[in-house]
């Protein structure tokens, strides 16, 4: 190499000289036909925005949303006991803040998204008490992050222990006990709104994941009985819609139980959602398992690993990494499918929205208030689903899905 040449490692990539005008000219106005389409679509978008914003700021009646915010969030949960729901939410946000400070990474993105969502809600025209609660939740996330980041080694075990104990703590707080003055029993039939939607989605996702992985592994098993059971279960559940499984759990299940045995309606729905989601998750995981070349298994066997170690340490992590987009897509679908439980008598967020729309106070409003209430519900669903998608994208980037 001559003295005038620079080492390859020191050569910098050429900088991009494309500005906004060049990008517009290259992508939107690179011909008379594309220019015409761009102008027409731009005019259509501007007209639609004008119509929607004009309706939102002049004609729309938003009063039902702040008036019924509590029922939209917690359903028929007793208003004097809503503090228990708020404590559960505060505990959850505190744990995310602590986790973000201790481990960082994707947990930091989740905590930041939750804090940003709370701030966005605080801007909306809610009561002063609601805004103060939302501001307190944001401060709680920040406090958890500061404590976790400054005491990572000391807070790691405590944070893990709190995550494992939090489900039991939340169930005890929400349900209570019979005869306890400070924590009276609240029947699960009174749970509703966004509280019930999140509960169904979280329990369904967490409970169906290990079951779906076991079904996927069982379908690839060489044991005929195990493989036949897993194949039959997956094909049976995937062959019927979710609403059928829900009706079976609510109507048919009591026919097979003794007369003195009664299973809570919420438990039936949770089991139905879990069993349904596990069948679809199993097929996604099976696709990931099939993408792993046999050389990985042979190399693990050559190193002396047994079948269990090979599956748990070599095959399964790579398979799950390969199907992250499919798994997150299924979780998003499951979150939206929770709206079907309104058909079997549980008042989740969409069911509560129908109740708010039919309130006598809003029947005299011209054209009703269904547009405003359903738009708010759709916005809530979109915020959660968009957050799932962003978390998935961040996780794919960190794990290098599709790049290595």
- Whether the per-residue pLDDT at 45 is higher than 90: the answer is yes
User: What is the 3 state secondary structure string of 168-179?
Assistant: HHHHHHHHCECC
- Whether the per-residue pLDDT at 237 is higher than 80: the answer is yes
- Cβ-proximal residues to 251 (8 Å cutoff; 6+ apart), any chain: none
Q: Which pLDDT belongs to residue 297?
A: 85
Mean pLDDT of 255-279: 87
Q: What are phi and psi of 75, to 5 degrees?
A: 70, -135
**What 8-state DSSP symbol labels residue 191?**
B
Neighbouring CB atoms inside 10 A of 368's CB total 14
Domains and CATH numbers, the chain: 79-185 (no CATH), 190-404 (1.10.3720.10)
- Whether the per-residue pLDDT at 76 is higher than 60: the answer is yes
Rg (CA), the chain: 26
- Whether the per-residue pLDDT at 40 is higher than 90: the answer is yes
Say if residues 72 and 351 touch (Cβ distance below 8 Å). Answer: no
pTM: 0.84
Q: Which pLDDT belongs to residue 16?
A: 57
Q: Directed axis angle between helix 370-399 and helix 349-357, to 10°?
A: 160
Q: Give pLDDT tens digits for 191-208.
A: 999 999 999 999 999 999
């Amino acid at each position: 190499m001559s003295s005038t040449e620079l080492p390859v490692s020191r050569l910098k990539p050429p900088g991009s000289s494309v500005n906004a005008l060049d990008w517009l000219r290259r992508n939107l106005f690179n011909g008379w036909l594309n220019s015409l389409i761009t102008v027409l679509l731009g005019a259509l978008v501007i007209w639609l925005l004008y119509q929607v914003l004009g309706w939102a700021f002049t004609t729309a009646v938003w009063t039902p949303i702040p008036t019924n915010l509590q029922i939209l969030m917690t359903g028929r949960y007793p208003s004097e006991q809503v503090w228990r729901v708020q404590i559960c939410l505060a505990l959850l946000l505190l744990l995310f803040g602590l986790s973000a400070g201790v481990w960082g990474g994707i947990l930091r993105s989740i905590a930041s998204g939750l804090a940003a969502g709370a701030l966005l809600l605080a801007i909306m025209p809610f009561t002063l008490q609601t805004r103060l609660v939302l501001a307190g939740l944001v401060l709680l996330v920040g406090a958890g992050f500061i404590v976790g980041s400054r005491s990572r080694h000391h807070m790691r075990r405590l944070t893990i222990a709190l995550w494992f104990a939090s489900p039991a703590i939340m169930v005890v707080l929400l349900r209570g006990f019979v005869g306890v003055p400070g924590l009276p029993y609240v029947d699960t039939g009174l749970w509703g709104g966004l509280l019930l939607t999140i509960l169904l989605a979280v329990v369904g996702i967490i409970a169906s994941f290990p079951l779906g992985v076991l079904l996927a592994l069982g379908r690839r098993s060489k044991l005929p009985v195990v493989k036949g059971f897993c194949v039959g279960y997956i094909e049976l559940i995937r062959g019927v819609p979710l609403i059928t499984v829900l009706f079976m759990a609510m109507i048919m299940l009591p026919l097979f139980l003794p007369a003195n045995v009664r299973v809570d309606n919420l438990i039936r729905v949770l089991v139905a959602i879990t069993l349904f989601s596990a069948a679809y998750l199993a097929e996604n995981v099976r696709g990931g398992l099939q993408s792993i070349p046999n050389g990985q298994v042979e190399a693990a066997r050559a190193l002396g690993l047994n079948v269990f170690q090979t599956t748990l340490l070599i095959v399964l992590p790579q398979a799950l990494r390969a199907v992250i987009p499919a798994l997150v897509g299924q979780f998003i679908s499951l979150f939206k499918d929770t709206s079907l439980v309104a058909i079997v008598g549980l008042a989740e967020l969409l069911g509560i929205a129908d109740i708010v729309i039919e309130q006598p106070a809003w029947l005299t409003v011209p054209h009703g208030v269904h547009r405003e209430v359903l738009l708010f519900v759709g916005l809530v669903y979109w915020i959660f689903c968009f957050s799932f998608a962003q978390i998935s994208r961040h996780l794919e980037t960190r794990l290098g899905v599709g790049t290595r």
